[in-house]
Structure 1
Amino acid sequence: MTDANCIFCRIARGEIPCAKVYEDEYVLAFLDLAPVHPGHTLVIPKTHHKDMLEIPAGLGSAVFAAIQKVAAAVLEATGAQGFNVMQNNRLAAGQTVFHIHWHIIPRFEGDGLEMWAQGKYADGAAMQQMAAKVAACL
C-alpha cells in the first residue's frame, strides 16, 4: 500500500531522490534534509502507514532490525558517543510527515540538545490512578 501524494512513499518508489544509506525489501533509510546533527537519518517502511497505530506488528520487526543496523553505522560514521531514536505520532506530538518514520539522531557529549522538560505526578496515588486509567483502556 502506498499513497500517491505522500513524499515518503514517493521517495520509497524512487520518484524523488534521497541520500540513501540503507534499503531492504521492507525498509528504506536516508539522511534527513534538515538534520539535528550531520548523520541524522530517517528510517521508513516502504509501505504507507500513518503512525504507530496503523503499522502492522510484523513490519515492526523489520523496521527495528533496520534501525539497529543503521544506528550502528551512524555511530561509526559520525564518531558520535550516543544516539536518540525518535518517532512522533500525530500533529500534537510533532509529526509533520504522515508516513510513519523514525529519526536516528547522533549525539555528542555537551551538544546542547535538550529533548523535553520533565514533569512529575502530584503524588504516588495520582500516578497509580493514571496507570489504572491507561490499563482500563487496553
Structure 2
Amino acid sequence: MTDYDSSNIFNKIIKGEMSAHKVFENDDAIAMMDIFPQSRGHLLVIPKAPSRNLLDADPTALAQVMPLVQKLAIALKAALKPDGIRLVQYNEAPAGQSVFHLHFHLIPVYEGEELGRHGQGKADDTELAELARSIAAQLN
C-alpha cells in the first residue's frame, strides 16, 4: 500500500486510542460524527482496512463499506430530515483530503443553508453526541 501512515487520526480511533462520537461500528467499518462538520449531522464512514484513499483501497473493502454508506444515509435522512444528502470522498491533498485514511463524508444539505468549509469550525461535543444517538436510533 502506497504511503499509508498508520499513525493517522482515523486509524487511532479504529484502534481505540482516541475517542469519537460513534454512530455505528462493525468488523469492517466505523461511522462517526465529523467534529468539523460542513452541516448539522455531517457523518464520516471509515473502512477499517488500511488504505490511504480510494486510489489504493482494496475492492473487497469497498464492497463491504458501500452498503453501510447507503444504510447510514437513510438513517441520517430519517433522523434529521435534511432536504438532501451529499456524498463526498477526497483523494490526496490537492483534492481536499486532510486525513490520509480512506473515508466517506455524508453531508446533510438543508434548503437555504450554506455548507461550511471542509475541515473548519469545530462542533460542540454535546450536540455531536446527541446527533450520533439520534442517527444511531434510526439504524435499529
Flag whether TM exceeds 0.5 (same fold): yes
Determine what percentage of the aligned residue pairs are the same residue.
Answer: 37
**Aligned-partner residue type, residue 103 of structure 1:** H
Structure 2 match to 1:53: 55
Q: Which has the higher contact order (CA 8 A, sep 6+)?
A: 2
For residues 114-136 of structure 1, the C-alpha deviation after alignment (integer angstroms, 9 at most, x for no partner) is 99xxxxxxxxxxxxxxxxxxxxx
* 27 and 39 in structure 1: CA distance in 2 versus 1, 3 angstrom threshold: same
Specify every segment of 5 or more residues in structure 2 that has no aligned partner in the other structure, as ranges: 118-140
C-alpha distance in 2, partners of 1:53/1:86?
15
Structure 2 match to 1:82: 84
**CA-based RMSD:** 2.0
Task: For 1:1-138, list aligned pairs within 5 A.
Answer: 3-113=5-115
**Aligned-partner residue type, residue 22 of structure 2:** K
* 66 and 18 in structure 1: CA distance in 2 versus 1, 3 angstrom threshold: same
C-alpha distance in 1, partners of 2:91/2:61?
17
Deviation at 1:36, TM superposition (A): 1.0
C-alpha distance in 2, partners of 1:108/1:25?
32
Specify every segment of 5 or more residues in structure 1 that has no aligned partner in the other structure, as ranges: 116-138
C-alpha distance in 1, partners of 2:73/2:13?
20
Deviation at 1:47, TM superposition (A): 2.0
TM-score scaled to structure 2, two decimals? 0.76
TM-score scaled to structure 1, two decimals? 0.77
C-alpha distance in 1, partners of 2:49/2:64?
12
Report which of the two structures shows the higher radius of gyration computed on alpha carbons: 1
The count of corresponding residues between Structure 1 and Structure 2 is 115
Any conservation in 1 of the 2:37–2:116 contact (CA below 8 Å)? no
More moved, 32-41 vs 106-115: 106-115
Any conservation in 2 of the 1:9–1:47 contact (CA below 8 Å)? no
Deviation at 1:86, TM superposition (A): 0.2
Any conservation in 1 of the 2:5–2:100 contact (CA below 8 Å)? no
Deviation at 1:3, TM superposition (A): 4.8
